[in-house]
Chains A and B, each alone.
Chain A
C-alpha cells in the first residue's frame, strides 16, 4: 500500500516538475562553450571555470554588461568608461579617474588582461575573487555609484537582458550571481599572450629580438624579474616601492585591508604587459613615461614612512636599482615587445 502511494506520488511530482521546468526555461538556454586561452608560457589558470563555464551567450552578455551604462547610477558610466581597449583597458592619459557626479578616485585604473590567471585584484588586493571584483567600482560613490539591486531592476526591465540571461544561464535568472558570472566570463576570455615577446619565447614564426631588446631582457631578468615574475610579469605580491607620499591622496595602499602597519603604502606589483599603451604609471598615475619610471627606480626612491621593500636596499644602505642610461634604454625597448596588438584590437572585446 505504502509503496504504491509513493510510486504515484513520485510520478505526480515528476510530471508537475517537468511541466514546470519547460514553462520556465522555454528552451532558450544555449550552452555553446568557449575555451579560455592557455598559452604554453603562462602559469596555471586560477579562476575556477568549472563553477562558471564560459559560453558564447554568457560571454556576449558579459561584454554587453561591460559596455552598459545602466551599471551606474546616472546610466552613463559603463566599466569601459575607465577601461578602454586600445590602452590595455586603462583610462587613457588619466592619472586617477573621474566618475559619477565628477567624483575623483585615488588610483590609476589598472589594465584588464589575463585576469583568469590572478587570485587577487585591485592595487591593494581588495577583491579576492574575480566574480566579486566588479562590485567595488559599481558601488563606489566616485565611480559608478550604484547598488546591485538597482542595476538588476534596470536589467530586468530591458528586453535584451530578459532574453540574454535566459540564453546564458540554465535558470535564466537576472540576479547578482548571474550578472557577476557573465562579467567574469567576459573577463576570463581577455587573455593577452601574443606580443612579440610571447612569440619570441614560444619560438613562433621566426620572431627575433634586436640586440637592444635582448640586452633589455637580460637586464630586466637581473634587476626587475624578481617582482615582475613569470610571463604574467607580476609575482602578485604587495610591495612598498619607496614612492614619496602624495599628501593630497595620502593613499595608504594595502594598509586599508587589514589595518596592519606592515602594509603601509604597499601596492600590488602590476603586470607589465602592454605597458607601452597603459600610461600613466604607478598606482596613482604620477609618472607619465617609462623613462620617468626607470629614473624613479634608479634614483627617486625615498623612505616614505612605511616599510620600503628591503629588496631595494643597496649595499651602501641607499634605496634603488642602479641603472645605466643604456640599461634604461634597452629595458624600454624590451618592454615595448610586450605590446600585444592582437589583443588591443581584438574584435571580440570591442564595443562595436
Chain B
C-alpha cells in the first residue's frame, strides 16, 4: 500500500448550531488513526478549545480560518501529499470542494484521500444527487433544483403544496422549511438563495418515518452498515432536532434489511470510500420509501452511531481513506474480531437534542426542518422507558424525567406545531386523556413510542395510588419504577418523601443498578471493553470491581448548551490524560455523544450515564475510588457538589463548602466585604419593593442575577422599575433554591478575567485576559485578548492581589476563574467560579502552559510547587478569542449581545499583533470582510462622537458608507460622506431593507431581484442600554442575520475592527503554525 507521508486534516472551526463537538471527536479519532501509521499530520482548525488541536494529538496545528484562502497558504507552505476532508463537517467539505475547483489541490499535487471529490459533489449538489439515485434505480422525493425564487414557485405548482425547500451545500438544514403557500415559498426561497447558490423544491413527506443508516465502504467494495437509527419525530423535523433511537424499533426485518440493501447499493454507486450517512423516509402505511440525502463525511449522526454501538467510525474511516481494507482492521473493542461486521446491540439508545431558545428574545420556538438545537444527550438502557427518562434528565432543563415536571402547555398547539417542548406536551396530552391514536394523528409519532410513554404515566399512577395508602412502597413496584427509568427524586416527589429516603429504601431491598458493557456483539464474544452503562433491567454486573487508592472518577461536562461546550470537555480529557500519566485509573462519567471524553479509549473506564448525585453515588459505591474530580466539567458537576458530599462521596480539590460560598451570591458578597475587596453595590432580594428601593438608592441601571447559573441565564440589566419586575420573575424561576441578587451596573467599565490554579489557597499559575467589549456583554460573548495589551500595570497588579486573597480565603485547591470590572485603576469583583472556566484551553494554548494538567495535579495534592507563574510571561505574540454566533439559524432572535450569553462557540487565532490575530479570529468565526458597502447606525450622541474617527478610517479605506438618518447627519457634520438610507418602517426608497435583501422591499410587490447594491457589513450600535431597542433597529439586525450579512453591535468592537482593517491588509495576515509562535 502506498501510504502518504504527510496529511493535511481540515477541522470544522467554531461550534455552531448544526456543527458541534462531534467534529472534535471525529477529528481526534482521525488523527489517532493516522499517527498509528506513522504519518505526519497537519491540522487547520481555529477552534482552540478542541482536543484535536492539542500538541499530543497532532504534529502541526494552524489556528486559522478553514477557508480556501488560508488553507491554500498552508498547503503551499506545508506541501502535504494527502488531504482529508471528511472529518471537519460541512465546513471542511465545502473548503475541500473550493480548493479542488480552484485547482489548488492539483497545483500542489495534494491527493484527496477517501471519498473522491466527484462523489462528494454528487451528494452535495441536489440535482446531481437525484440523478445518481435514479441511475441506481432508486427513489428520491419528487424535486426540482432552482436558482431563483420564481422558478421555485413554478416547481411548487408542479409538485403541489405543501412543498419542502432545502438549500444545497448547507449544514444542519439551513434554509430549509415547509411552505404551504406561494407567499411563504417566495419569501423563504429568497432568503435561502441569499445563503446558497441553489435550492431544491420537493415533495413534502408528512409523517413518514425518518430512518438513517451509517454506511462504511472500503476501496475494495466491502460495504457494511454499522448502525441504523429511527427518528421518534417523523419527517418534517430535522434529524438534528429529532429524538432518535438506535437501533430502529418499529421496522420489521423486511424493512430494516431492504433499506440496508438500498443504502449499500447507492453508496457503491456513488463510490464513497470511508464513512457516510444516508437518510430515508419510509411510509408508515406502505412499503414506499424515499432516499432523502447522503452525507459523504463523518456527521453528527455518525458520532452518535459510534457512541451508540462502540464502533469507532472515524478511526476506521481514516484507515480506509489510506487504502486499507475493512478486513485488515481490528474491532477495537473485542480485539479479536474484525472491523468488517455490523454491531449487534443488546440495549437501546435514545438521543434528545438540547435547545436554548429561552435565551433569545423574539425567537420562534417552533422546530422543523432546520436545526436550532445547540447540543444533545444520549442515554442507554434496556427498556425504552429507562433510556428516555434518563435522557430527559440529562438535558439539564429542570425536568425530572418524563413525569413529575411542573410544566404547562397549549397542548393542541404543541402537538400540531411542535416546539422544543413537544415531548412534554405529549405527556401532558396523555394525562389530559388524549388517546395514543389522537396524538399519533396530530404528531405522526409512531404509536409504539406513545405506548411506551403511556406505560411511564401508568406507572406514575400506580405510585400515586401506592403512596395514598401511606405505607412503605412495595419492592416490586419500586423496582418496576426504577426499571422504567424513574429517578429516586421522581419517586420521592410522587410519594412525598425525599430522594435520600427512596435511595435508602431501595438499597434495603437490594434494588440497585447493574453495570453492563457495550461490546458491539451482544455478548457473543468476550470483549475487553471498558465502555459501560447502568441499568435496572439486569441481574448481574458485567465487570468485577476492585477498590483502589489509585482510582479517580472524573465528572464530565454533560450536555453542550450555550455557555458550556467543548472547552470543558478539553479540561476533562486533559484531567484524564494527567491522571493516567501519573498512574491513576481514570474513570469518566459523561453522557454527551459529541465529546472526546466519551471516546472509550481516552479513559480507563467510561460510564456513559447521568451526571446526577444519584447516579454518581451509585457508581462511586461500586467503584470505591479515592475520590471524585468535579472541577473540570463546568457547572453541571459543580451543581451536585453539595449533594454528593451528603451522600458520602469524597469530592477532591476545593471543598464543597467553599464552592457553595462562591456560588451563592449572598455568601460570596459577604466574603468579599470581609476581605475588603471591592464589588459593585449589591443586595439580596427579598421583595420587589426592596429591589425598587435599592435601585432608587443606587441608581439605574442595575443588574439582576440568580445564583448557581451558567452563561448568565436569566441575568438582565434593568433600566427602570418595569424592567425590574419582569426580570425578577424570570430570575426566580431559573433558580428557586438559591437567592437572587441585585447589584449596581457600572457603565463604561472594562471587563477583565483571571484564570488560575491554586493549591491549598496558594496560586500556582494565573492568566489575566482582557475583554474588548465593555462590561454589559457576557464574558462568553466577549472578544478576549491574551496577554492583555490595554491594561494598566496597576490594574493587573490589583487583580493578581485580589485573586490571591480570594484563593487563600476559600482555600482553593484546583482551577478557578474570577471576573472583574476595571475602570481607571479601580477594580471590582463581579463573580468567582471555583471550577475550570471557558477560557482555560485558550490561555493554556496561547501560553503553552496546560492549566488543566496543573489543576489536576493540584487536586491530587501533588507538589506542583515553586513560585507563582504568570502565564503571560515571555509571550511576544497575542491570542484573540472571538465568539461564534448562530443567529442565522435562530429565526426571529435579536442578534444583539447582552449580559445573557448568546454565542454557541468560539475560535482563537494567534498573531504578532492584536490586529492580525483579531482579523483572523473574526474571519474564522464566519465574518466576511466587507467588500465595499458598510451601513452605520449608531445610537446616541456619545457613541456617535466616539465612533467618528473610526468612521473616517473606514471612509479613507475606500468603503462606501451608508447610514441611518441621524448617523448620516452626524457624519456629514464631520465631513464624512455617506448615503442616507430610510428606515424600514418609513417604506421609502432608498431603504435599508432593499440594501439588506437585494430585492425590492415588501411594499413593492413582486419577486424580481434588485441587482443593485448590497450591504456587506452592518455596524449597528443600539443607543446605550435603552429599555427597548427600537423595532426598526431590530429589523435591521435580524434581516442582516437572515441574509448572512456580517453585523457588529458593540462600539468597542467596531472601533477595533476599523483600526485592524486599517492596520493590516488581508494578504499580509500571518500564516504561521502554533509552534512557530514562541
Q: Do A and B bind each other?
A: no
Which residues of B approach A to under 8 Å, CB–CB? none
